[in-house]
Chain A
Amino acid sequence: MATLSTITEVWRFREVIKNFVAQDLKVKYRRSYLGFFWSLLNPMLQLAVISAVFSLIFKFEIRSYALYVLSGLIPWSFLATSITESSMSVISAESMLKRQYFPKLIFPLSIVMQNMVTFVLSLIALLCFLGFFIGFKLTPSLMILPLSFLYIMATALGLGAIAAVLNVYFRDVQHLIGVFLSAWFYITPIIYPMEAKQAQDNGAQVKPGAPAEMIDAGPIPHEYRQYFKINPFFSIIEMFHRPIYDGRLPTRSEFIAATIVAFGSLGVGLLFFGYFDKKLIFHL
């Protein structure tokens, strides 16, 4: 029940949240002339480096590989940034919290919302700018993207809320989160594909009529794939890979997994936060 009252409190403070989000975005994009476009430079460079290097190592066809990386990397960056920044959110609001009452959940929530705005805009912008060059196609499957956004936001908020609480009790959690997330980045298929889908698409490496195991060859051997699929972030990232890169909907099992991960993270996160909500002020 603590959770329910937390949520209604947050709604009462929506004006404050709006202001926090707006001011952060303003500050972020104010100082440069290019503003928002400046923020696209970083993912674009990252994308260029990863695509160039790994298409060489793995011998992927570079254009379609770039689209693959883009469709996974941008959502991942959102998730990682949101969780990292959320973990600091309650602590850095200490001076405010000691002088006036706020429902503490508004701090991770503002962080996630603010990152969400940047994320949605940059994903759309990057697809518009680069899409043509790297073989992005408009398909009806893109209609699922709003749901993908919703799921990844729920996941980010749930995990961010947990991180924010943990960091109040143990101030070194933020460092662990950094290490944890970079490890997780590598066990999630983002810079490498699970299946050698691009080979089929381009017909460049695999000739028609090749044995089935050749077509299905990917960097990850068949027998290990199931372990990769246990990774809760896998299904969330697939919600973007599938429509943007594959041009089709996520499989039924991926969709179910993503639903469970999103609602699970959010539910556990809110329960966890609600339980500690009233105790946090005494530990700041």
Chain B
Amino acid sequence: MEDHFIQLDDVHLTFRIHAARTYSIKETVVNAVLRRNYGKGPTIVNALRGITLNVPNGQRLGIIGDNGSGKSSMLKVISKIYPPTSGKVRCQGFLVPLLEVGIGFNFELSGLENIFLTGAIMGIKRKEMEKKVDSIFEFSELADFANTPVKYYSSGMTQRLAFSIATEVDPEILLLDEIFSAGDIHWMERAEARMRGLIDRTRILVLVSHQMELFEKYCDRVIWMQKGQIIADGEPAELVERYRATAGAGAGALTGDVST
């Protein structure tokens, strides 16, 4: 049995946001010639400040916190999208970050071709993906449109296809930023069941959400983040309770670090 884990060791993530974003040579040259100096230097945003976290095999971790507390940055550091400014990030296991569905769709290509493309992007071989095609079309109810270019799909159909592909995979580490499922009520019910199936299959779950009831439903551990730090770590029920209490008071909650 393989051991899957996520390890963060004193991870810092710092963004430098330049006040005058000179994104062109023209502006840079003009500014240099005219000796213009916009900006009092870059604004530094500490999205994560010294995060140390161990997520062992089998754990279902929830992250709560206000907007801009570093929840999404945390997921992006775990998934390697952002390299940490300092500290170490180690993950073992097939990682699927579902930060938003439908990435990498090529709208000129058919639904079927996009299934393979998305599979490849997620790191799944074509052979394995072939076994999943039927199930994806069955769930999305788009079998009749398999060979239609995605640009002719309605937005609902595109979403359905994206969601069906994303939830057909077998991750070992699953990162979820909000549980997404838009659509009619009939679809929502099926989507939720399918999402639950995905969450049950994965070895490790890291869930970021603003829907508190999800933590009690899916997680067995919750961390609470504020201004890029973990300020509490414990049982979902207890932490959600405490978090809700502060929300009522609204104590300085919105003065956290700039949202990333």
Interface residues of A (CB under 8 A from B): 15-16, 18-19, 23, 26-27, 30, 95-102, 169-173, 176, 278, 281-282
B4-61: which residues lie under 8 A (CB-CB) from chain A?
Answer: 15-16, 23-26, 28
User: B100 touching A99 by the CB < 8 A rule?
Assistant: yes
Q: Report the interface size class on chain B.
A: 20 to 34
| CA–CA, A128 and B232, complex, Å | 72
User: A282 touching B25 by the CB < 8 A rule?
Assistant: no
User: B109 touching A99 by the CB < 8 A rule?
Assistant: no
Which B residues lie within 8 Å of A23 (CB)? 106, 109, 113, 117
User: A99 touching B99 by the CB < 8 A rule?
Assistant: yes
Number of residue pairs spanning A and B whose beta carbons lie under 8 angstroms apart: 65
* Max chain A C-beta neighbours (<10 A), residue from B26, B121, B125: B121
Binds A, one of B74-82, B180-188, B208-216, B241-249: B74-82
19 more CB-based (< 8 A) A-B contacts, given A95-B103, A101-B81, A281-B83 = A15-B120, A15-B126, A16-B120, A19-B121, A23-B106, A23-B109, A27-B109, A99-B97, A99-B99, A99-B103, A100-B81, A100-B121, A101-B80, A101-B97, A169-B23, A170-B28, A171-B23, A171-B24, A173-B25
| CA–CA, A172 and B24, complex, Å | 5
A-B contact pairs, 18 of them (CB 8 A): A15-B120, A15-B125, A15-B126, A16-B120, A18-B120, A19-B117, A23-B109, A26-B109, A30-B108, A96-B103, A99-B100, A99-B103, A100-B99, A100-B103, A100-B104, A101-B79, A171-B23, A176-B25
With A15-B125, A23-B109, A170-B28: A278-B116 Cβ-Cβ less than 8 Å: no
User: A100 touching B109 by the CB < 8 A rule?
Assistant: no
Which B residues lie within 8 Å of A282 (CB)? 15-16, 82
| CA–CA, A98 and B117, complex, Å | 17
B103-125 CB mask vs A (1 if < 8 Å, else 0) is 11010110001001100111101
Which A residues lie within 8 Å of B81 (CB)? 97-101, 281
Which B residues lie within 8 Å of A102 (CB)? 121
| CA–CA, A18 and B80, complex, Å | 22
Which B residues lie within 8 Å of A95 (CB)? 103
| CA–CA, A278 and B104, complex, Å | 21
| CA–CA, A102 and B16, complex, Å | 22
Which B residues lie within 8 Å of A281 (CB)? 81-83
From A16, A27, A30, A172, contact of B121 by CB (8 A): A16
| CA–CA, A176 and B25, complex, Å | 10
Which A residues lie within 8 Å of B123 (CB)? 15-16
Which B residues lie within 8 Å of A100 (CB)? 79, 81, 97, 99, 103-104, 121-122
